[in-house]
Chain A
Amino acid sequence: MARSRPGSSLTETRVGLAILLALVAIALALLLQQFRYDPDRYRLGALAGSPSGAPDSLPLPAGTVPVTPQEHFDAVTLSDKIDGRADLYLAAGFQGLRCRRFASSVGDPDVVEACAYDLGSPGNAYAVWSQQRRAGAPDAEIGENSYATSNGLFLASGRFYLEILAARGGAQALLQSRSFAVAFLAANAGATTTAGDAAAEGTMLPAQGRVAGTETLLAKSAFGLDAFDGVHVARYLLDGKEASAFVSSRASPAEAALLASALREALLAQGAQPVAPPAGIPGAWAVDAAGWIEIAFTRGAVVAGVHEADARPAADALAASLWASLQKVGP
């Protein structure tokens, strides 16, 4: 509504328009302002660059402090660390060894030494682990291949073989050993996913009569035969008689047959006497080596047999159950 006033509405309108124009300018300035900003201010930044262990450093369990710096050994220097047993590892494809000593950060003076052997493949690691296994040691329940002693933990996981030994074997140290193993497995998850494969072949060995914890993988030169590698062995107790069974997957049936006869030749060359082959197993042979019965046969690309059986009936029974076990596994 129009209202006349001295000084009046024309001025008022002009002033009003000027103010509105100023508001528009302010709005434009604000709208432009929103595009100019430091993007780091209101977003979560990267945490990278915070200190973390070198990629190849062994984990330190929570609640412990390192006692000595981490040590490294290669094939040349391995014998500095483990004089007597170095050949076992070297034969099994040893790549490297890392060791670390740690102890509780609050008091307990029990020092734990953890050694991680890199053996290149799960098979080699399993072989090293199984060959050194102590009979009767309980499963440590860390991964698939582990056992514990009064002061130590021994694991095969992926291409690694772990030995974790507490100097005094106190309860806290054993717990820290477990923590280390769990942390190591977690840190090397990629390398340890094939943990079970190495032992899988060993499942062809029949369960009946098998002495728990005696499954062993002989990585190389089994039974003194250079070409005989990757052989799974387990000890059996059948009616009070001892015997071993072995099984090994080869590249082809021909190679399997060749190995089986090479083994027979080698035994005969050492003075063994041929005896009647066990019944019901095609192509099997048997020899008597100074009172021990040795039997071998093939099934497809698998060569299997009985080793150092105390008595013939036990040898035959074991051979039969091994043959039956192989039938179940494959064609």
Chain B
Amino acid sequence: MRIVTVRRVSQGFFLGWFLWFCAVTAFGEGRFQARGWPLNLFLQLDPLPALATTLATGTLYAGLLWALATVVLTVVLGRAFCGWVCPFGTLHQAIGWMGRRLRRGQRARVNQPSRLQGIKYFVLAAILASASADLVRGSASLAGHLSPALQAVAAAAACLIAFLAISRLVRSRSRAAAWSIAMVGLWALAGRVLPGDEVFASTDLVGWLDPIAFLTRGMGTVVLPLLDRSVGLFFSAPRHVQGGALLGILLAASLLANLAIPRFFCRFLCPSGALMGLLGRNALWRVARTTASCSQCAACDADCEGACQPSGAIRTSECVLCMNCLPACKETVITFRTRPSEAGEHPLPDASRRGVLLSLASGFALAPILRLGAEAGAATPPALVRPPGALPEPQFLDRCLRCGQCMRICPTGVLQPAGVETGIEALWTPVLNNRLGTSGCQPNCIACGSVCPTAAIRPFTLDEKLGRAGHHATGPVKIGCAFVDRGRCLPWAMGRPCIVCQENCPVSPKAIVLEPWVEALREGPWQVSGVDAGTVRLAGAPLRPGRIAGGDYLIASALMPGLGLSLRDNTTDSVVLARPEDAANLAIGTRVEIRVRLHRPYIDPVRCTGCGVCEHECPVAGLRAVRITSENESRDPRRSMVRE
């Protein structure tokens, strides 16, 4: 049995499972639904989300511990995950294979290592730096809490440690001393100058480019919604995706790029692969050449997936252990063994130190730049309505992988990937869009919190969501508050009866209350010009026939007590009384108006949970007349409008 065959089986195996998990990430416990499947297994195995969220939050949440298995695998063997497990890598490899050149020389050329493969290490550095800003600030400002004497002692100790570390790298002792003092001084300065506000903070941007998050998001927001159009297996109703075009284009581009260069994403962009390239630096086994020289036929390079140049001094950090070079070698000088290659090795990636430093600095600067608009603070976009259970915004952004699992499993599809209009930092994080989906946030559903791999949406119970059984004090979870736009609401602005928002409000007692109201049609008044067996003829503006049928309309004169006489129907110039005998109350020549019975909606901000069912149902189809915005969300008490 050839190892390449085993690798292909393994790739197919894991891709199959990944696709299966994507397919069954569906609300419910049926055969093709979530049940107990480990839906986040691949997200949890990926070491980068685990590392980034740990840096950002200081904790390694629950299932992310699985990443340790991949770390062990990688430290012992190198990037086996990339070549054997990663479903995105498998897709790239498959598409690259389809687009492969026919001539071996061409293939070998395409697979030569490129300096651009260093980009992914810059991406990694920027991601990890932006995630660790809180950590850096926290440790840099530690000294500030000490007394001056202790600060001096701490500085001296730090200088000593730095000197010991640096003196191993720098030959000259004086230079090492200078470096160590400069570094500690810089560190102390950082503790002084790093701003103590919310702008300089960590943010977890790993989800934008992490391969598993990328593919999971692509499956949930692009592939499955499209497939579902024809097979109808994955969602209960056709699913629409806010900003789906961009997501689709990016997914397609990432896959089609393999036609130009195989494993394009893996080689140039994948920050997780970069991390594993570093972790595998001391791998015990590696692909190696058994001889110092060979015929340089480049057959091995022609099929190399990682562009690690097995024909020469192999770049171990780029090797994805595809093992194609083993059978390709006619001279059988390539093998997998514990000893390093006789042709030499490049154990470190081809990424310049200056570039990495620049990337780290850019990463630190990223969150402050992204937060200049204070979208996670004073200027939270009103449309940024987070799912129930979402952590307060800064902590949420420390965790969210933008993997889209919450959106995928949301039974109504109201959870949608945020676009850039709610801040670039929030791109592809979950927000509620009550116009898409089949309804608002269902009051008796806790799926998003249950599925979230990082607890950006923390797991919550139904009792907690509804504020019952021991959660009375905190009350129901509020994700926002409904507001009535009186200029657009039918009964408020247009004299048309409508109670849709109130009747659909799922909160008990209802958070929308209706105030009865009666007003006269603006076409009026009219004058009674004839009364005949319950039909009252009117002189005045013509009425559209049937306009006032339906029981909501009354005819009344100024002198009549009560609301007026109920109407049943009308023609252009007459109305029909619901009770013919009422005609006795209308003398010819009486000035009358036609009144409509309305109910005007009001929101009770204490009861409203922001579920959005009212907004979804509102008959004003475009910009709804009742809309949810994120004010009053219970995850951040400072954004409450009412102080109870």
Contact = CB atoms under 8 A, between A and B. Distances in A.
Q: Would A and B touch once assembled, by the CB under 8 A criterion?
A: yes
Interface of A: 3-7, 9, 12-13, 15-17, 19-20, 23, 26-27, 30, 33-47, 49-52, 61-63, 104-106, 138-139, 141, 148, 150, 169, 171-172, 174-176, 178-179, 212
Given A37-B35, A42-B28, A172-B515, A49 B469 contact: yes
Contact of A42 (B409, B461, B514, B579): B409
Nearest to B585: A138
Given A30-B17, A34-B35, A141-B578, A43 B516 contact: no
Given A41-B446, A47-B444, A62-B599, A16 B6 contact: yes
Contacts of B461: 40
A50 B578 CA distance: 41
B139 interface: no
Contact of B508 (A5, A6, A34, A51): A51
A175 B552 CA distance: 12
Contact of B337 (A7, A17, A47): A7
Q: Name the residue in B5, B41, B516, B565 with the highest tally of chain A Cβ atoms < 10 Å from its Cβ.
A: B516
Contacts of A169: 561-562
Contacts of B327: 3
Nearest to B335: A7
A20 B9 contact: yes
B516 A141 contact: no
B597 interface: yes
A44 B411 CA distance: 9
Interface string B445-484: 1110011000000000110001011000000000000000
A60 to B, nearest CB: 8
B447 A3 contact: no
Given A106-B515, A141-B566, A23 B1 contact: no
Contacts of A3: 327, 332
Given A42-B450, A49-B468, A175-B516, A30 B444 contact: no
A175 B13 contact: no
Contacts of B444: 44-47
B6 A63 contact: no
A63 B516 contact: yes
Contacts of A19: 6, 10
Nearest to A178: B516
A44 B469 CA distance: 17
Interface string B513-541: 11111100000000000000000000000
Q: Which 8 A-B pairs have the closest CB atoms?
A: A37-B36, A175-B516, A41-B450, A16-B6, A62-B514, A63-B515, A45-B462, A16-B1
Given A23-B9, A40-B462, A62-B514, 6 more contacts: A9-B2, A12-B3, A30-B17, A49-B469, A61-B516, A62-B513
A15 to B, nearest CB: 7
B6 A105 contact: no
13 contacts: A12-B2, A30-B17, A34-B35, A40-B461, A41-B450, A43-B27, A47-B508, A49-B469, A63-B602, A138-B582, A141-B578, A169-B562, A171-B518
A44 B6 contact: no
Interface of A is mostly: loop
Interface in B290-306: 290
A106 B517 CA distance: 12
Contact of B1 (A4, A5, A13, A61): A13
Contacts of B450: 38, 41-42
A179 B597 CA distance: 12
A134 to B, nearest CB: 13
Contacts of A5: 326, 332, 335
B515 A16 contact: no
A17 B28 CA distance: 37
A23 to B, nearest CB: 5
B34 A174 contact: no
Contact of A63 (B2, B5, B513, B597): B513
A27 B13 contact: yes
A164 to B, nearest CB: 13
B556 to A, nearest CB: 10
Contact of A175 (B36, B518, B578): B518
B170 interface: no
A174 B563 contact: yes
A38 B578 CA distance: 57
Interface in B319-377: 326-327, 332, 335, 337
B443 interface: yes
B33 interface: yes
Interface in B414-461: 442-447, 450-451, 461
Nearest to A18: B6
A41 B34 contact: yes
B502 interface: yes
A175 B37 contact: no
Nearest to A176: B516
A16 B3 contact: yes
Given A4-B332, A175-B516, A62 B510 contact: yes
B29 interface: yes
B644 interface: no
Contacts of B515: 62-63, 104-106, 172
B38 interface: yes
Contacts of A174: 562-563
A44 B445 contact: yes
Contact of B5 (A16, A44, A51): A16
B509 interface: yes
B581 interface: yes
A13 B515 CA distance: 79
A23 B10 contact: yes
Given A47-B466, A50-B468, A39 B29 contact: yes
A34 B36 contact: yes
Given A46-B444, A172-B515, A150 B468 contact: no
Contacts of A178: 516
A176 to B, nearest CB: 6
Contacts of B566: 141
A148 B602 CA distance: 28
A45 B445 CA distance: 6
Given A37-B29, A47-B466, A106-B602, A138 B579 contact: yes
A40 B459 CA distance: 12
B38 A148 contact: no
B563 A171 contact: yes
A12 B7 CA distance: 12
A105 B9 contact: no
Contacts of A26: 13
A36 B38 CA distance: 10
Contacts of A23: 9-10, 13
Contacts of A42: 27-29, 33-35, 409, 447, 450-451
A148 B581 contact: no
A256 B623 CA distance: 70
A225 to B, nearest CB: 34
Contacts of A171: 518, 563
A6 B36 contact: no
A51 B6 contact: no
B503 to A, nearest CB: 10
A20 B326 CA distance: 19
Nearest to A64: B513
A61 B513 CA distance: 9
B332 A63 contact: no
Given A5-B332, A16-B5, A63-B516, A148 B34 contact: no
Given A16-B6, A35-B36, A105 B513 contact: yes
Given A23-B10, A42-B33, A45-B444, A148 B27 contact: no
A50 B466 contact: yes
Contacts of B582: 138
A143 to B, nearest CB: 14
Nearest to A148: B562
A74 B327 CA distance: 97
A50 B469 CA distance: 9
A33 B409 contact: no
A216 B3 CA distance: 98
